[in-house]
Structure 1
Amino acid sequence: MTRLTTEKLSAGYGEHLIVKDLNLALPDGRITALVGANGSGKSTILKTIGRLLRPRTGEVYLDGKVIARMSAKEIARQLAILPQNPTSPEGLTVRELVSYGRFPHQSGFHAETREDRRMVEWALAATGMTAFADRPVGQMSGGQRQRAWIAMALAQGTDILLLDEPTTYLDMAHQLEVLNLLERLNRDTGRTIVMVVHDLNQAARFAHYVVAIQHGSATYQGSPREVIHADMLREVFGVLADVVADPRTGAPLCIPYGLVEASEVRDVVV
């Protein structure tokens, strides 16, 4: 069963329509990477799936229900979304930030429950942030901050995580730190993870399913081996590249060597 799907989904900002008639069925218990050129609609799709953005037409379905008709708390108990570059109030500690993830499970002014505390401590441990729990978020490194925000999302206790460019502005080591964490969470807990990714080699290495977005439509979708190939790179990114097997993992490895000439471009976003 696929829990999260879209049907003829269109979305945008103001008069600008970015996503058009999108049909997706995101596999359960797997990591899905949304890839595409800048401005192709990846983040818009993620925001619309997470109900941060209202569709113009079409629907997003969660467990067969139209997500637009569900209450915010009902959604937040099943789906957590982490947008790009989240910010926290100055002086907030890591533990306080993570505890915000329990709000969907609380009512009124009720105090934190034993289950709330258990989930917060589990999320801190799962992300390797227990030792930093009482430190201000603002004093963390980029990778540590991102792990703290992922811990907050985990504390929600949802089965689905949506992450918009979780490795943006991180150096190579911190990117691997975050991606290894997501891979481990998927493997150990079976969580469905959908993330926007810029680096195709990271998508090939860490995702089970890849959706290549072009002009707001899913041009290619399938396993990394089915999606990441020279024709896709040429069409979707306007890039000439060799694609070889990674000697360590066997996943597709992109080696770009040039750009498609302007005269050859056919509906390519560059």
Structure 2
Amino acid sequence: MHSLQGQNVTVSYGTSTIIDQLNIDIPRGKITTIIGPNGCGKSTLLKSMARIMKPDGGTIYLNGKEILKQSTKEIAKQMAILPQTPSAPGGLTVYELVSYGRFPYQKGFGKLTARDREMIDWALEITGTIQFKHRSVDALSGGQRQRVWIAMALAQETELILLDEPTTYLDLAHQLEILEILYSLNRREHRTIVMVIHDLNHASRFADYIIAMRNGKILTSGNPNEVMTKEHLREVFHIDAEIVQDPRLNKPICLTYDLINQDEQKRIKLGV
């Protein structure tokens, strides 16, 4: 069963078509990573699926219903979105920011209920940010702040979580920390997670399903062993990659790579 689907989705910026007649199915209860070169339409696709951008054509379905025919609160109870560079008003405490995730459930004057506070504390605990709850968001490091943003998305209590490059600007240890939190959440809570991610080895390590894009189209999709191949990476990224199997995780990893020459790039584009 698919929790999020797009049929014939077309998205443009001005006169430039970024995504053209794209079909996509996000498997429920799995971790899906979207990979591809810069400017291929990954973030545009994620924003369209999250209803941040309205497609010029096609239809997106959330749990079987057209997303554009659902109210904002209905969608917010089913799907949380963490953009690439989230920003918050200055002076907010961690607890206040995470409490914003409870907005879809609030009525009247928006006073937090016992259930709201329970979910906020749970989100702070699972992301390891409970000790920062009274601290200003502005005073946190990049890694701490990113965990707090994820806590806000978790407090929203949705089955589906979309994240646009959640490890950007983080060092290696903090990248791994964030991805392991999301992996644990998927395995323990069965949340459906969709991430745009640049690091191919992270995409392979943490994903059940990978979607590879180039020039606004999906070139291939499947499990990591199906997508992380020498042939597919040549087509998607125009690189000659050495792929080996990680002996600990039994997942493919890109050991090293070189750029392919211009003539071969032209042949790939022409499909010859």
Q: Is the 8 A contact 1:99 1:152 kept in 2?
A: yes
Partner in structure 1 of residue 32 of structure 2: 32
* Separation in 2, partners of 1:89, 1:243: 44
Amino acid across the alignment from 1:38: N
2:165 counterpart of 1:160: no
Partner in structure 2 of residue 136 of structure 1: 136
Amino acid across the alignment from 1:138: D
Partner in structure 2 of residue 251 of structure 1: 251
After TM superposition, the score normalised by the length of structure 1 is 0.97
How large is the Cα RMSD of the aligned pairs?
1.1
> Within 5 A, what are the aligned runs for 1:118-133?
118-133=118-133
Partner in structure 2 of residue 62 of structure 1: 62
How far residue 109 of structure 1 moved from its aligned partner, in angstroms, is: 1.3
* Separation in 2, partners of 1:151, 1:116: 13
> Within 5 A, what are the aligned runs for 1:124-203?
124-203=124-203
Q: Is the 8 A contact 1:102 1:155 kept in 2?
A: yes
How far residue 90 of structure 1 moved from its aligned partner, in angstroms, is: 1.6
* Separation in 1, partners of 2:111, 2:88: 22
Q: Is the 8 A contact 2:91 2:137 kept in 1?
A: yes
* Separation in 2, partners of 1:257, 1:61: 38
Match of 1:267, SS state, is helix
* Separation in 2, partners of 1:46, 1:109: 32
How far residue 264 of structure 1 moved from its aligned partner, in angstroms, is: 1.2
* Separation in 1, partners of 2:136, 2:157: 23
Partner in structure 2 of residue 116 of structure 1: 116
* Separation in 2, partners of 1:92, 1:70: 30
Partner in structure 2 of residue 267 of structure 1: 269
2:80 counterpart of 1:80: yes
Q: Is the 8 A contact 2:103 2:110 kept in 1?
A: no
Q: Per-residue displacement from partner, 1:166-207 (whole Å, max 9, x unpaired)?
A: 001111011001001000111110000000000000000001
* Separation in 2, partners of 1:259, 1:191: 37
Partner in structure 2 of residue 2 of structure 1: 2
Q: Per-residue displacement from partner, 1:95-147 (whole Å, max 9, x unpaired)?
A: 10000001111123131111111111111111111111111111111111111
Q: How many residues align?
A: 268
After TM superposition, the score normalised by the length of structure 2 is 0.96
The ranges of structure 1 where at least 4 consecutive aligned residues each deviate by more than 2 angstroms after the TM superposition are none
* Separation in 1, partners of 2:107, 2:14: 35
* Separation in 2, partners of 1:12, 1:212: 20
> Within 5 A, what are the aligned runs for 1:90-105?
90-105=90-105
* Separation in 1, partners of 2:64, 2:13: 26
Q: Is the 8 A contact 2:80 2:153 kept in 1?
A: yes
* Separation in 1, partners of 2:186, 2:84: 21
How far residue 21 of structure 1 moved from its aligned partner, in angstroms, is: 1.2
Match of 1:221, SS state, is strand
Q: Per-residue displacement from partner, 1:43-95 (whole Å, max 9, x unpaired)?
A: 00000000000011101101111101111111001000000111112221111
* Separation in 2, partners of 1:121, 1:249: 32
Percent of aligned pairs sharing the same letter: 53
Which range moves more in the overlay, 256-265 or 212-221?
256-265
Amino acid across the alignment from 2:20: K
Which range moves more in the overlay, 49-58 or 101-110?
101-110
* Separation in 1, partners of 2:20, 2:94: 39
Amino acid across the alignment from 1:72: T
Q: Is the 8 A contact 1:92 1:136 kept in 2?
A: yes
2:39 counterpart of 1:47: no
* Separation in 1, partners of 2:141, 2:184: 21
Structure 2 unaligned residues grouped into runs of 5+: none
Amino acid across the alignment from 2:202: Q
* Separation in 1, partners of 2:105, 2:233: 43
